[in-house]
């Protein structure tokens, strides 16, 4: 029997990291088992559904690289995959319940009559859990159909899992107490229950429940900041799952190769955006030069910077200085354009050092007459020559020069900067700074 899993979000907000991780575990499990991953949109709450939310789900899953085998835009033998289009199916299943006298009307709504007995589930993550339905006060008969004729979550969720042949339901722990209800419905239908795996929730750094407003909560925010989808997938996989080895950086394919429900933890995990950034840096570091440049280019252009001929060299010079691609424009800007802002603090520091001006002037007047600086070694030689002439160490010239060339106190290798900028441009920038001193 082939494994069939599903992600069944309701389009009522943005795609949340918690939801993304639920989707990921379903996707990973299906891929690992050579099964089928289904996307089903649970849009039964007309009042709260929005088109933006629906689109956010598609965009988010697409960006993260989770492709679905059946679902919206893809079709499949169990469609339609929007619950809002499955009314006839639900009506038919509801009739079964009525014929079996398992529902009764209450205030216009229909309630499902629970079997008053202990219900035991065997959860793949939580183990054996029993809820006693003899205690009616704790387990009142549930509404399955509203007075307006529409069906509630429990009903449609169970019907669709049955209709779609779902073999494994992997969902958040907030559904654990719903499972015996679903088991009772399945029994009433005479169906075969899927296996359940309830995964722990994701909490904020402070242990509170993660909500949509918290930092890092919205999957849609990640692309803009320059996270790589594989890095985000890697990081959220590590929230509640472990490879049981010391390795933690995995490609999505590697995760799909190693994933198992047995290795899923039972305790909720806190979300640490710092570590997420570190994971992103690790994935960035694994990109080859061309790959990194291509991804960075998008952000650099987005920041309104020109991507010129020296772009590959410029990006190579700064690539290991960033954890997010969104940081690249700020790092390379001065290499791509002459129009960048000087850091007033850095300039003030240079101005406070009287010896710096003379050094810079000497360098600026020497540079144009020199052959083009070919590499960092050559650059150092030039600086040493100027410094020696003034009887100081090269270090005395380096900070002022860095500020002159980049407008900032910190940056990439100074020699590399000089090579990229060229003698003439270096001289211009030095003169420009000297004029400000």
Partner RNA sequence: GACCCGUUCGUCUAUCGGUUAGGACUCCAGAUUUUCAUUCUGGCAAGAAGGGUUCGACUCCCUUACGGGUCGCCA
Verify binding: residue 407, RNA, rule CB under 7 A: no
Select 37 or 151, whichever has its Cβ closest to RNA. 151
Select 320 or 345, whichever has its Cβ closest to RNA. 320
**Nearest-5° angle of CA 189, CA 195, CA 199?**
125
Select 188 or 264, whichever has its Cβ closest to RNA. 264
Which 340-379 residues touch RNA, going by CB under 7 A?
none
Q: In the structure encoding, which two tokens stand for residue 408, read together? A: 């900032």
Verify binding: residue 42, RNA, rule CB under 7 A: yes
Chosen residue from 250, 411, 430, 433 binding RNA by CB under 7 A:
411
Q: Is 422 exposed, middle or buried (0-12, 13-18, 19+ CB in 10 A)?
A: middle
**Number of Cα atoms under 13 Å in the Cβ half of residue 262:** 2
CA distance 206 to 270: 8
Shortest Cβ distance from residue 296 to RNA (Å)?
15
CA distance 328 to 278: 16
Which 102-131 residues touch RNA, going by CB under 7 A?
106-109, 126-127, 129, 131
Chosen residue from 28, 239, 363, 421 binding RNA by CB under 7 A:
239
Active site residue 209: no
Shortest Cβ distance from residue 198 to RNA (Å)?
8
Stretch touching RNA by CB under 7 A, among 21-29, 160-168, 272-280, 365-373: 272-280
Verify binding: residue 399, RNA, rule CB under 7 A: yes
Chosen residue from 97, 415, 426, 429 binding RNA by CB under 7 A:
415
- Give which of 189, 172, 137 is closest to 268, Cα–Cα: 172
Q: Are 178 and 8 in contact (CB under 8 A)?
A: no
- Give which of 273, 292, 180 is closest to 221, Cα–Cα: 273
Which 155-214 residues touch RNA, going by CB under 7 A?
173-178, 200-201, 203, 205, 207-209
Stretch touching RNA by CB under 7 A, among 50-58, 226-234, 406-414, 421-429: 406-414
In this structure, what is the dihedral angle of CA atoms 300, 305, 306, 312, given to the nearest 10 degrees? -40
Shortest Cβ distance from residue 223 to RNA (Å)?
21
For residue 66, how many other CB atoms are within 10 A of its CB? 22
Chosen residue from 285, 348, 355, 389 binding RNA by CB under 7 A:
285
Shortest Cβ distance from residue 1 to RNA (Å)?
26
Out of 117, 212, 393, 436, pick the active-site residue: 212
Tell me, residue by residue from 48 to 77, as one string, x for binding to RNA by CB under 7 A and - for no binding: x-----------------------------
Shortest Cβ distance from residue 144 to RNA (Å)?
9
Catalytic residues: 212
């Amino acid at each position: 029997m082939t494994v069939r899993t599903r992600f069944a979000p309701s389009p009522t907000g943005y795609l949340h990291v918690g939801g993304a991780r639920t989707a990921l575990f379903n996707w990973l499990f299906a891929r690992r088992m050579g099964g089928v991953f289904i996307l089903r949109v649970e849009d039964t709450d007309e009042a709260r559904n929005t088109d933006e939310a629906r689109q956010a789900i598609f965009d988010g899953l697409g960006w993260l690289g989770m492709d679905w085998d059946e679902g919206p835009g893809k079709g499949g033998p169990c469609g339609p995959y929007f619950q809002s289009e499955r009314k006839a199916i639900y009506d038919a299943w509801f009739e079964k319940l009525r014929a079996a006298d398992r529902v009764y009307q209450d205030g216009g709504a229909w309630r499902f009559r629970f079997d008053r007995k202990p219900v035991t589930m065997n959860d793949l993550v939580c183990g054996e859990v029993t809820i006693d339905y003899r205690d009616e006060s704790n387990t009142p008969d549930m509404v399955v159909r509203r007075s307006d004729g529409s069906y509630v979550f429990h009903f449609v969720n169970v019907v669709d899992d049955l209709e779609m042949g779902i073999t494994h339901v992997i969902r958040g722990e907030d559904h654990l107490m719903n499972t015996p209800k679903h088991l009772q419905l399945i029994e009433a239908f005479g169906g075969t229950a899927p296996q359940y795996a309830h995964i722990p929730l994701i909490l904020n750094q402070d242990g509170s429940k993660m909500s949509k407003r918290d930092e890092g909560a919205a999957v849609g925010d990640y692309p803009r900041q320059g996270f790589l989808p594989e890095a985000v997938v890697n990081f959220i996989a590590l929230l509640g799952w472990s490879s049981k080895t010391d390795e933690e950086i995995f490609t999505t394919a590697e995760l799909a190769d190693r994933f198992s429900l047995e290795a899923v933890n039972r305790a909720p995990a806190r979300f640490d955006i710092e570590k997420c950034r570190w994971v992103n840096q690790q994935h960035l570091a694994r990109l080859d030069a061309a790959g990194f440049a291509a991804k960075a280019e998008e952000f650099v252009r987005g920041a309104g910077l020109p991507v010129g001929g020296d772009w590959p060299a410029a990006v190579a010079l700064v690539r290991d200085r960033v954890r997010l691609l969104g940081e690249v424009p700020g790092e390379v800007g001065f290499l791509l354009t002459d129009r960048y802002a000087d850091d007033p603090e850095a300039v003030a520091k240079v101005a406070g050092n009287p010896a710096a001006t003379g050094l810079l002037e000497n360098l600026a007047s020497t540079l144009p007459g020199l052959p083009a600086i070919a590499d960092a070694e050559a650059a150092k030689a030039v600086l040493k020559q100027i410094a020696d002439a003034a009887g100081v160490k090269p270090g005395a010239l380096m900070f002022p020069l860095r500020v002159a060339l980049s407008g900032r106190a910190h940056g990439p290798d100074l020699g590399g900067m000089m090579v990229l900028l060229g003698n003439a441009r270096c001289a211009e920038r030095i003169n420009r700074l000297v004029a400000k001193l």
